[in-house]
């Protein structure tokens, strides 16, 4: 399938540009300086894998990058791991792991695997996640589990708000400079429509402090381009920010969000999701009307406990 696709409502990202960004990012010197966010999220996904008391013979990491999840997993939990990423340079520079791995260069939106292949699928901070959950469901075996993480809608709200206000003031309008993110209310519907059941969605925030807006932008060049390869690749992106606009945005950032010590925060909101592929052995909800105790009786529990103490 074409790597770039065509602009439209169903896919707001330029996949061809995304591949170029991630390939360029993987070739930069000392990428580990900017890996801490992906490594932290990868570790939290691994913790969720460990919470499931079973061994997974074959697992798939969608949008694996340099292997931020694999480095936290153990061979006692995952016996073999397939790593898939659109950027071949990221796979070439993958972090070592004790798990036997196979690296596959492929667009995450077009997974090249047969149905009912994997016991576990994981994905960390991949922008293609929203459009490939259906394929993830297809490649999972019955009773297989998907565990993923993606940026939430409030990610970098301080930066986005400051840039928008500065552009409105200096240029009379604004355009997106950070790729759009998903709202948490949409995740449950997305996973359910893809066929997953027994869903779990939770959210977390990671806040990093910087000396100022320009340091935020520099570090995001490292996170979103140099290592994470996740810079703005929307079809309607604006290629240039004027210097006066940047200076105004820095002042707004400091005034609206600055800390007492002079630093400014940057917030990364992370959504974690867990979904299972249906299998007849899974627990099923009871039929409607089959309950033998009313929720209204719960109000009587406190009185019964007090009576028992007396």
Secondary structure, 3-state, 187-238: HHHHHHHHCEEEEEEEEEEEEEEECCHHHHHHHHHHHHHHHCCCCCCECCCC
**Chain centre to alpha carbon of residue 54:** 24
Three-state SS string across 11-59, please? ECECHHHHHHHHHHHHCCCCHHHHCHHHHHHHHHHHHHHHCCCCCECCE
Q: What pLDDT, in 10s, does the model give residues 196-218?
A: 999 999 999 999 999 999 988 88
The pLDDT of 262-266, averaged and rounded, is 95
Model confidence at 110: pLDDT above 80:
yes
Evaluate whether 95 touches 34 at the Cβ level (below 8 Å): no
CA gap 253, 247 in Å, rounded: 10
Helix, strand or coil, per DSSP, at residue 124: strand
DSSP 8-state secondary structure symbol assigned to residue 296: G
Sign of the Cα pseudo-torsion (160, 163, 169, 173, in order): negative
Q: How many helices (H) and strands (E) does the chain have?
A: 9, 7
Model confidence at 166: pLDDT above 50:
yes
What local confidence, expressed as pLDDT, does residue 25 receive?
62
What local confidence, expressed as pLDDT, does residue 279 receive?
86
> What are the extents of the domains in the chain?
15-283
What dotted CATH number matches 15-283?
A: 3.40.50.150
Evaluate whether 274 touches 50 at the Cβ level (below 8 Å): no
CA gap 56, 137 in Å, rounded: 16
Least reliable range by pLDDT among 72-81, 105-114, 180-189 = 180-189
Q: What pLDDT, in 10s, does the model give residues 3-60?
A: 444 344 445 455 566 666 666 666 665 666 667 888 999 999 999 999 999 999 999 9
What local confidence, expressed as pLDDT, does residue 55 receive?
96
pLDDT confidence tier of residue 226, bands split at 50, 70 and 90: very low
pLDDT confidence tier of residue 101, bands split at 50, 70 and 90: very high
Evaluate whether 268 touches 37 at the Cβ level (below 8 Å): yes
Model confidence at 84: pLDDT above 70:
yes
pLDDT confidence tier of residue 178, bands split at 50, 70 and 90: low
Average pLDDT, the chain: 81
Q: What is the pTM of this model?
A: 0.78
Least reliable range by pLDDT among 56-60, 102-106, 256-260, 278-282 = 278-282
What local confidence, expressed as pLDDT, does residue 180 receive?
65
Sheet of 81-85, strand order:
101-105, 81-85, 59-62, 118-124, 140-151, 264-277, 196-210
- The count of other CB atoms within 10 Å of the CB of residue 217 is 19
pLDDT confidence tier of residue 66, bands split at 50, 70 and 90: confident
């Amino acid at each position: 399938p074409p790597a770039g696709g065509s602009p439209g409502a169903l896919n707001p990202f330029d996949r061809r540009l995304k591949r170029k960004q991630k390939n360029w990012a993987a070739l930069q010197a000392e990428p580990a300086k900017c890996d801490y966010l992906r490594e932290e999220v990868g570790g939290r996904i691994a913790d969720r894998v460990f919470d499931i008391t079973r061994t997974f013979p074959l697992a798939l990491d969608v949008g694996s990058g340099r292997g931020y999840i694999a480095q936290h997993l153990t061979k006692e939990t995952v016996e073999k791991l397939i790593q898939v990423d659109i950027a071949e340079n990221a796979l070439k520079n993958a972090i070592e792991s004790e798990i036997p791995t196979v690296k596959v260069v492929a667009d995450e939106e077009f997974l090249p695997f047969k149905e009912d292949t994997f016991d576990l699928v994981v994905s960390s901070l991949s922008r293609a996640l929203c459009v490939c959950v259906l394929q993830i469901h297809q490649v999972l075996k019955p009773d297989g589990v998907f565990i993923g993480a993606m940026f939430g809608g409030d990610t970098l709200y301080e930066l986005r708000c400051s840039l928008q206000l500065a552009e409105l003031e200096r240029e009379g309008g604004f355009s997106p400079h950070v790729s759009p993110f998903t709202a948490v209310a949409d995740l449950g519907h997305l996973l359910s429509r893809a066929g997953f059941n027994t869903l779990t969605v939770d959210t977390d925030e990671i806040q990093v402090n910087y000396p100022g807006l320009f340091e935020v932008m520099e570090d995001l060049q490292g996170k979103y381009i140099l290592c994470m390869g996740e810079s703005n690749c929307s079809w309607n992106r604006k290629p240039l920010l004027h210097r006066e606009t940047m200076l105004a945005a820095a002042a707004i950032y400091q005034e609206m969000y600055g800390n007492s010590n002079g630093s400014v925060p940057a917030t990364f909101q992370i959504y974690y999701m867990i979904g299972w592929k249906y299998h007849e052995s899974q627990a099923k909800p009871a039929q409607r009307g089959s309950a033998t105790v009313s929720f209204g009786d719960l109000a009587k529990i406190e009185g019964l406990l007090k009576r028992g103490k007396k």
